[in-house]
Structure formats: C-alpha cells, structure tokens
Amino acid sequence: MKTCTVCGKEKPEGDYRLHSDKKTVMRYCNDCHLAKRRAQHSTKREERNAQFRARYAANVNGVKDKHAAARKAKYAKQGRAALIAWAAENPEKAAEANRKKMKRGRERLSDYYVRRLLCHPERSEVKQVPEILIECKRLQLMIERECREKR
C-alpha cells in the first residue's frame, strides 16, 4: 500500500502509474494523474491541436503522404461509386468538402474551377473544354485580380 501525495488516500501499488524506467511507481495515484492530465489538456488543447495541424501540414514523419496513399488505394479499389455513395450518405460532409475544394480552386485558379466557370457541368452540355480556352480564361482572371489589387 502507498499513500497518494495529492489526494492523501492509501491505495495499492497497482493504482499507481509506473515511471518511465518501468520499475518505480509515481507518488500520486492514477486517478489524480488523470485529473491532472485532463486539466492540462483542457488549458492547452488549442495550442496542442495547432502544433499537430502544423506537423501534419509539414508532413513530418510522412503521415500526410501515408494518408494520401491510403485514399488513393481506396479510390483505386472501390472506384467513384464508393465516393458517390459516401456523398449520398453524408450530404453535409460532402457539401463542406466541395466548398473547401471550390475555395482552394478559386484561390489557385485551378483547371477544375476555371472549367466550371466556363461551362458549368449542370448547366452546360459541354463535357470537354479546350485547354487553350481554360488558359486564356485563367490569365484574364489573373489580370482582373491584379487590377483590383492595384487600384
């Protein structure tokens, strides 16, 4: 039996966590340890999450690449049908993903975004837009944006 230095209760050694050396136990019991960690987590939650997001974005340890490869493999195995089924099951998530995709496209003037501006798939019969037309439209948009910034 051992007395916890935080709550002062006497508890068996099994209720105490081991130190990193895996031989000696900590001075405070597992319940007090968890309470302390929870309190720490609630105060530093945003900071830690920001750190994790930054690490993910910087592709530390290649986790981002691993996720991308997994998504690609899943898509290759299941095809577009699985994606459409998922979108039908999760309309809100699908709408949010689409919003993000369009926002990214708008910022980068991606082929997808410019093609959609020229011939919207739901409003136009054109399935294939000449690449040269997309390039001209992109340049036109770039000039317009630059003009707006300079004015």
User: Where does this chain bind other proteins (CB under 8 A)?
Assistant: 111, 115, 118-119, 121, 124-137, 139-140, 142-144, 146-147, 150-151
Number of residues that this document lists for the chain: 151
Angle between helices 91-108 and 63-89 (to 10 degrees): 130
Residue 13: CA atoms inside 13 Å, Cβ hemisphere, count? 6
Q: Which is closer to other proteins, CB of 37 or CB of 106?
A: 106
Task: In whole angstroms, give the CA distance from residue 32 to residue 35.
Answer: 5
